[in-house]
Amino acid sequence: MGTTKDVREAVGAELAYDPLVDSTNIAVRNISGEVALNGTVPTYPQYCAATAAARRVAGVKEVHNHLEVVLDPADYRDDAQLTTAANNALQLNIAVPDGVEATASDGNLTLTGSVSYGSLRAAAEQAVVGLAGVRNIVDKIEVGYYADPLDVTQLVQGALDRNALFYDDSDVTVDTVGSTVTLSGHVRTQAERDAAVGAAWMAGGVVEVRDNILVTG
């Protein structure tokens, strides 16, 4: 799938194929594997699903989601309603630690608090992503407890070595300075890249993951 047209058409087909996405008002542009999604979707879960669909397509190296969430009037929630609904969802989710809170402003949810693992921060996002009235999520949750950088590097590298998506001669490397993990190297697909970043966030003590991995397609 080497041409711009091929990748663009493939992304469009994948968006149309995905039952979680209404692709009616989505336009796709592609320049050398850099794919941009423009237009509108009616819900935030569709915004997220559109990104995931585009990232599944061979030849896509990066996805730039410029979609706007235009809510159906029936899904609108004022700031107080959405704030209450989001905090209730966070409290009811056993994967989300106490102290994580949400505040809404015109459909934009801001999450604050602190957690020990990046995966717990992701759990907080997942707890509120499907709420009616959400147009966007701004995650300001802090991740923090000290872990030895060498231990973190070994743990993340071990997770990558175990992952079925990575071939035996993968050149993805892990370097940890303080609480920041930097991933470098090459992968064939966005799925592999996502798996590497996800593995890094699962390690304790990781506050930031810098993704320098290149997708070769």
Q: Where residue 3 falls among pLDDT bands split at 50, 70, 90?
A: low
The reported pLDDT for the residue numbered 149 is 85
Is the pLDDT at 1 greater than 80, yes or no?
no
pLDDT at position 168 over 80: no
Least confident range from 40-49, 74-83, 179-188: namely 179-188
Token pair listed for 148: 């030895």
Cite the residue boundaries of each domain of the chain with CATH code 3.30.1340.30.
Answer: 4-69, 149-215
Q: Where are the alpha helices (DSSP H) in the chain?
A: 4-17, 44-55, 79-92, 118-128, 149-162, 190-202
Three-state SS for 184? strand
Type of residue at 191: A
The whole-number pLDDT of residue 4 equals 62
Average pLDDT of the chain is: 91
Q: Residue 35 pLDDT more than 90?
A: yes
- Report the alpha-carbon distance of residue 135 to residue 79 in Å, rounded: 12
Q: What is the pLDDT of residue 39?
A: 98
pLDDT at 46 over 80: yes
Query: From CA 15, how far away is CA 112, in angstroms rounded?
Result: 32
Task: Classify 4-69 by CATH class.
Answer: alpha beta
Long-range contacts of 17-25 (CB under 8 A, 24+ apart): 17/53, 18/49, 18/50, 18/53, 20/45, 20/46, 20/49, 21/46, 21/49, 21/50, 21/53, 22/46, 23/50
Question: Can you give the length of the chain in residues?
Answer: 217
Q: What is the pLDDT of residues 58-117, one digit of tens each?
A: 889 889 999 999 999 999 999 999 999 999 999 999 999 999 999 999 999 999 998 888
Indicate if the pLDDT at residue 144 is higher than 70.
yes
Please give the residue that has the higher pLDDT: either 127 or 118. Answer: 127
Rounded mean pLDDT of 34-42? 96
> Would you place residue 2 in the very low, low, confident or very high pLDDT band (cuts 50, 70, 90)?
low
Q: CATH assignment of 75-143? A: 3.30.1340
SS3 89: helix
Residue 35 · residue 28 · CB < 8 Å? yes
Reported as half-sphere exposure (CB side, CA atoms, 13 A), residue 69 has a value of 23
In one letter, which amino acid is 123? Answer: A
Can you give the pLDDT at residue 96?
94
Q: How far is 203 from 10, CA to CA, in rounded Å?
A: 35
The CATH code that applies to domain 149-215 is 3.30.1340.30
